[in-house]
């Protein structure tokens, strides 16, 4: 499960201001369903970029189904 924005802000502040690592965060918040691997990835991203938000360009590309492309495909299929 992805981290909520509230969890990301909490992790960021505790890591930056108190130096908490993933193990300390797990012991401080046993009620939250956090995983060490997920926290490690989030902390690595925080150290590399200074932010916990998604990197630009990451994820699946936007759909290419525009009105123009639909019309082109329709015209090509009609010629056959």
Task: Evaluate whether 11 touches 52 at the Cβ level (below 8 Å).
Answer: yes
Question: Which residue ranges make up each domain of the chain?
Answer: 1-55
Q: Which of 7, 73, 61 minimizes the C-alpha distance to 38?
A: 7
Tell which wins on pLDDT, 37 or 79.
37
The contacts of residue 41 (CB under 8 Å, 6+ apart) are none
pLDDT digits (tens, 9 = 90+) for 44-64: 999 998 888 887 777 777 777
pLDDT digits (tens, 9 = 90+) for 12-28: 999 999 999 999 999 99
Q: How far apart are CA 11 and CA 3, in angstroms?
A: 10
């Amino acid at each position: 499960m992805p981290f909520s924005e509230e969890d990301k802000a909490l992790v960021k502040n505790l890591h930056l201001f108190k130096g908490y690592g993933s193990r300390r965060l797990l012991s401080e918040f046993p009620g939250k369903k956090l995983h060490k691997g997920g926290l490690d990835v989030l902390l690595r991203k925080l150290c590399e970029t200074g932010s916990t938000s998604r990197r630009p360009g990451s994820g699946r590309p936007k759909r290419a189904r525009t009105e123009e492309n639909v019309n082109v495909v329709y015209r090509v299929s009609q010629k056959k």
